[in-house]
Amino acid sequence: MTMIDAMRSIAVLEHGSVYVDLNEIAFISPAATLLLVAELDRWRRLKNIKLRPRDIETMHDQVLYSLASMGFFNILGTHNLPPFTTDPGAPQPIRFCSGNQSDLKKASDVSAELQRIAGASLGQEELLLNDAIAEAMTNSVQHAYPSSLIDGLPVLKGEWWATGSYDQTRHRLTVLVYDQGIGIPATLPSSKHWDRITKRIPGYKELWPEDARLIEAAIEEGRSSKLTEGRGLGLAEIADLVYNSDGGHLRIISGRGEVRIQPGVKTVLQNHQRPLGGTLVEIALTLS
């Protein structure tokens, strides 16, 4: 997040070319790679800023591999990469896609590509994974961007970025959908289901709930009630996929909150000092 915060600060002030030094990074997760890609994409499209990687030949191989696989260098227009080796056991990321509509074609392309590199099929879960990805996109399009300026920064309204990775050591597919909106906790007070959501949080009137508790309450409300619309319905559908899976998990980071749901395991809530600057939905499924 430090690097992304720095990129945001620079991008607001600068025009033209900005150099990015990624040599200090020894390891980058697929989620962090997607955030970087999205940030770069935002400034490239909104301000025509040309971010250029510095000293690319001395970057760590894993970082180079993850960024290259996800299409980071294509955005930069850097096509001549130095040779790098990859750990065969490392998660294999796929190229990102983005859009500003709920797009089942792109959602199904992500899951198909992951199954292709895994050399295995999700079977019945494939359709449900497609649905979950599309619902995450729908949430971004409908709820994430009430304004074209969020936290003082211009945003691409309705935009989401999606990718995934396959971890062959754990036979696990992971899908990531990210938006740069105001975050789930900030959207909930305007929800028609706000009263029902807050009833799930003891003492909320005395003390404003932390973001992670709000996200969890929205998911719980969606799963247990008769919602017909609102963010809770989509979140509930995504959570249901994971709850009905064997060895999967759902992680949602939004605002300052992080919720990790895993069947048979107590839900983990965390609150971070710094907000994410959007919402990241991570859906992991284990191939049987």
Partner 1 sequence: MMIDVATAFSPYPAGRFRTDGPFSGEEFREKTLVPALAQGGPVVVRLAGTKGYGSSFLEEAFGGLVRHGHFTADELHRRLSIEAGAPEYEIYKRRVDEYIRRATFGSDRAKARA
Q: Which of 79, 124, 149, 264 binds partner 1 (CB under 8 A)?
A: 124
Sign of CA dihedral 142, 147, 148, 152: negative
Q: Which of 110, 182, 233, 284 binds partner 1 (CB under 8 A)?
A: 233
- Burial pattern 100-119, b for ≥16 Cβ within 10 A else e, equals eebbeebbbbbbebbbeebe
Write out the two tokens for 105. Answer: 């074609």
116 scored as a contact of partner 1 (CB under 8 A) = no
CA terminus-to-terminus distance, the chain? 34
Shortest distance in whole angstroms from residue 288 CB to partner 1: 16
Tell me if residue 279 falls in helix, strand or coil.
Answer: strand
Contact 43, 10 (CB under 8 A): no
Q: Which of 128, 184, 218, 280 binds partner 1 (CB under 8 A)?
A: 128
- From residue 200, alpha-carbon distances to 3, 168, 203 in Å are 36, 39, 9
Count of chain residues binding partner 1 (CB under 8 A): 25
Q: Which of 134, 197, 217, 283 binds partner 1 (CB under 8 A)?
A: 134
Q: Which of 131, 159, 220, 282 binds partner 1 (CB under 8 A)?
A: 131
Tell me if residue 253 falls in helix, strand or coil.
Answer: strand
Residues 237-266, interacting with partner 1 (CB under 8 A)? 237
Write out the two tokens for 274. Answer: 């710094």
Cβ partners under 8 Å of residue 150, min gap 6? 180, 181, 182
Q: Which of 39, 41, 103, 216 binds partner 1 (CB under 8 A)?
A: 103
Instruction: Choose between 130 and 174: whose C-beta lies nearer to partner 1.
Output: 130
Residues 136-175, interacting with partner 1 (CB under 8 A)? 137-138, 141-142
Q: Which of 5, 24, 87, 229 binds partner 1 (CB under 8 A)?
A: 229
The residue whose two tokens read 């709820």 is: 143
- Residues in contact with partner 1 by CB under 8 A are 101-105, 107-108, 124, 127-128, 130-131, 134-135, 137-138, 141-142, 226, 228-229, 233-234, 236-237
